[in-house]
Amino acid sequence: MVEHRGWSRYIPYLVLSLGVAIVAFPVYLCFVGSTHPQDVIANGNMPITPGPLFFETYYKTLFVGSSGSTREPVSTMLLNSFIMASMIAIGKIAISIISAYSVVYFKFPFRMAAFWLIFVTLMLPVEVRIYPTYKIASDLHLLDSYAGLTIPLIASATATLFFRQFFLTIPDELVEASKLDGAGPLRFFWDTVLPLSRTNIAALFVILFIYGWNQYLWPILITTRDDMQTIVIGIKKMIVTADALTEWNVVLATAMLAMLPPVMVVILMQRWFVKGLVETEK
Amino acid sequence: MQKRAIFGGKTLPYLLLLPQLFVVGVFFYWPASQAVWQSFLLEDAFGLNTSFVWFENYKELFADAGYYRTMLTTGVFAIMVAGLSLSLALLLAVQADKSIHGAGVYKTLLIWPYAVAPAVAGVLWIFMFQPSLGVIAHAMRNFGIDWNPLLNGNDALLLVVMASTWKQISYNFLFFLAGLQSIPRAVIEAAAIDGASRTRRFWTIILPLLSPTVFFLVVVNIVYVFFDTFGIIDAMTQGGPSKATETLVYKVFFDGRLGGNLGSSAAQSVILMVMVVALTAVQFRFIERKVAY
């Protein structure tokens, strides 16, 4: 920016490359581990270059499952994770966009009360009320169902606030013009608000998909059947067995597969990801 | 909510609110009030008899040295993760903000760990540092460093801190970079012309202008350590060895597991909720102040 002389202009490259290397190293090592045979990893002398078993390990992980137990193959878990993450993202966007539309564009008794009822949930994640929520979900027969896996995680205000902020920036002239054209509230929502919200919806979808995919505590409580497991809790269950029996190559391959979809989402949709992250402010 | 042009309608606004209010009511307000109610109850070992005991669960909790220890662990954990991840992220963001080639590539390569699930991050780090098979644990032993996170509480806490920091750097980095890019170049250049050195410019101009971002991130990082590190801890140490890595949320989970001590677990939940609400209130006052600028 101001001065660019001497060796000091290489400092940014050095620091950033070091940062990237440190950030990437754990994942690199995980990949290396997933390509070596189990006993090479277990005796603690794994080389730090990839081994020969890439295709075998990933095939086994995806379609057969680890041998020591009756675990499901990871492809089932991937599918569950995908369904859960999508349902959380879509569900939360759907209920939030209409409730935000209601509090911004209508005037009705108890409007502020409704807004505050939603707003209070902003920073209280499911973890703080975990057992009562579990009890209610089980009373409603939601254990081992996609509804039970997703709906309790939809109960929060972030998306509502995000849409509310955005709706407040839509010029009033648009509503007035629509009204002159004889459009009602639903017509205006469908023809004007929804198309204008496209990038916001995309940004929010990216953030919520990652949020859903990475859920841990709730899925561990709400699922008991192996075929309802998500990949993130599947990994954990593979390590629980006695240390020596852990099939580390399968565990590491599963970890790689668990990271791949959300990381790809961040990299490929970076613009929306950054927008969603910065504008929802968590 | 200061729209001039609004719609009338008697039932439509309520219909639009209904789905969210329903979900929030059933899965937020109902369980939250259940937690409060349960925190006043004492259940016998078989779950057959429950009695209303007023603040007994809270009294017991605050008389329990273990609870203070968990609070202390959580505090130390939060300070270490926030301190480490904020300073590393700031260092990287300052470098990435300079006019360099390939800034976008570096940015992409630094932000993806945000997408890694906490539990998976835990697996990655335990794999490197597991005493018997970890590559780095081996290297450390060759250097004569005594390292065993499975037995030594401090080692375990350090390991959990490292994994949590690794995951949080990307988030802090993004916000710092956005903050740095919003500082007008002219201010910094004026200082440079006045002869302020690079270091001086950073401490007297850049950092003060960045303080709203720092404050926001400190709160977010504390909340992150409180809740999102659950997966990291459960995958790596399960709160051990001998509770050295047990955070408040982990204790809520652990004490209430299999219907163990639901009353105490509920009381802990309530205390946690109060803490988070207080944090949110602090943050909100601050955001309002930021808007006033």
Q: For residue range A67-125, what is the model confidence (pLDDT) as tens digits?
A: 655 567 888 889 999 999 999 999 999 999 999 999 888 888 888 888 888 887 877 77
What is the chain A residue with the closest CA to B95?
A: A12
Does the pTM surpass 0.80? The reply is yes
Do residues A161 and A122 make contact, with C-beta atoms less than 8 angstroms apart? Answer: yes
Q: Do B31 and A129 touch (CB under 8 A)?
A: yes
Which percentage of chain B shows pLDDT scores above 70? 93
Query: What's the DSSP call for residue B55?
Result: T
Q: Tell me, what's the pLDDT at B116?
A: 92
Q: Tell me, what's the pLDDT at B242?
A: 79
For B:29-68, CB contacts with A below 8 A are 29-32, 34-35, 38
Q: What is the mean pLDDT of chain B?
A: 84
pLDDT for A1 beyond 50: no
Flag whether residue B114 sits within 8 Å of chain A, measured between CB atoms.
Answer: yes
Q: Helix or strand or coil: residue A106?
A: strand
Q: Do B178 and A278 touch (CB under 8 A)?
A: yes
Give ipTM to 2 decimals: 0.86
Which percentage of chain A shows pLDDT scores above 70? 93
A101 vs B197, more confident? A101
Q: What is the CATH number of domain B56-292?
A: 1.10.3720.10
A contact test, residue of B22, B112, B182 with most A CBs within 10 A? B112
DSSP per residue, A118-184: HHGGGG--GGGGHHHHHHHHHHTT-TTSHHHHHHHHH--SHHHHHHHHHHHHS-HHHHHHHHHTT--
Considering only CB atoms, B133 lies closest to which of A16, A42, A164, namely A42
pLDDT tens per residue, range B115-168 = 999 999 999 998 888 888 888 888 888 887 877 878 888 888 999 999 999 999
pLDDT tens per residue, range A193-208 = 899 998 889 988 998 9
Q: Do A33 and B127 touch (CB under 8 A)?
A: yes
pLDDT tens per residue, range B19-65 = 998 998 888 888 888 888 888 877 766 666 677 777 778 887 888 88
Percent helix, strand and coil across chain B, each to the nearest 5: 75, 0, 25
Rounded CA Rg of chain B? 24
pLDDT for A217 beyond 80: yes
Do residues A167 and A100 make contact, with C-beta atoms less than 8 angstroms apart? Answer: yes
Q: What is the domain partition of chain B in residue ranges?
A: 56-292
Query: What's the DSSP call for residue A7?
Result: G
CA distance B249 to B74: 9
Residues of chain B found within 8 Å of residue A136, distances taken between Cβ atoms: 26-27, 30-31, 34
Q: Tell me, what's the pLDDT at B217?
A: 87
Q: Tell me, what's the pLDDT at B293?
A: 36
Residue A29 vs residues A224, A261, B134, B135: alpha-carbon distances, Å: 32, 19, 10, 9
Structure-block tokens of residue A134:
């579990």
